[in-house]
Amino acid sequence: MDRRKALKNIGLSLGYMVATPSVISLLQSCKNDTEKNVLWKPEFFSTEEGNVLKNLVDLILPKTENLPGAIELNIHKFLDQYFTKVYDEKKQKETKSGIEAISKGLKKPISSLKTEDYDHFLTKYLRATKEDKEKFSENDTIIFDTLSGLRDITVWAYKTTEEIGENVLAYDPIPGIQKGCVSLEETTGGMSWSL
């Protein structure tokens, strides 16, 4: 799969999410902190839940030959801070319950989970057919909703980073003339604009 095309398509579907200056500054405060990546202690989640988040985010947007992964851009740290500082109490409780449901749904001690376990888990829920979703229990529905939301916010945060915004997406710090009714293919080679 072409990651650039996938990012563009997902980004177009997430057009309602706007990065305010305070969110961008929160995101930038988490960038290039690779030495602390190993020692990261989540603020919103427990250490185990933080590890679950980190592993899921890594699989949602892994590193490729040409692009950094979500972990390299510290998206997991940003999400932990975002849930702490931006979400209201109701949304925080929903997110916490969702991650707890995911942790229980993985059916193994968090410390013994391997990448394959997370990958199988994501596949089970995010690639579920309509018929599969109809058979989901209440707990499965919570897991599905949490994973879908996590995927969406991970992609949004990834596209909002300076690295991706300036080096991957179409970026013009000083826009020129406005041309209406021009296709995205013609103006940017099919890439969505960085905000």
pLDDT in tens, 48-72: 999 999 999 999 999 999 899 999 9
Is the CB of residue 70 less than 8 Å from the CB of residue 61? yes
Alpha-carbon distance 37 to 30, whole Å?
A: 10
- For residues 99 and 36, the model is more confident at 99
Look up residue 2 and give its amino acid. Answer: D
pLDDT in tens, 84-135: 999 999 999 999 999 999 999 999 999 999 999 999 999 999 999 999 999 9
Alpha-carbon distance 133 to 122, whole Å?
A: 14
CA distance to 28, 36, 47, 139, 144, per residue, from 103 (Å):
28, 24, 12, 12, 13
Specify the pTM.
Answer: 0.74
Alpha-carbon distance 14 to 59, whole Å?
A: 19
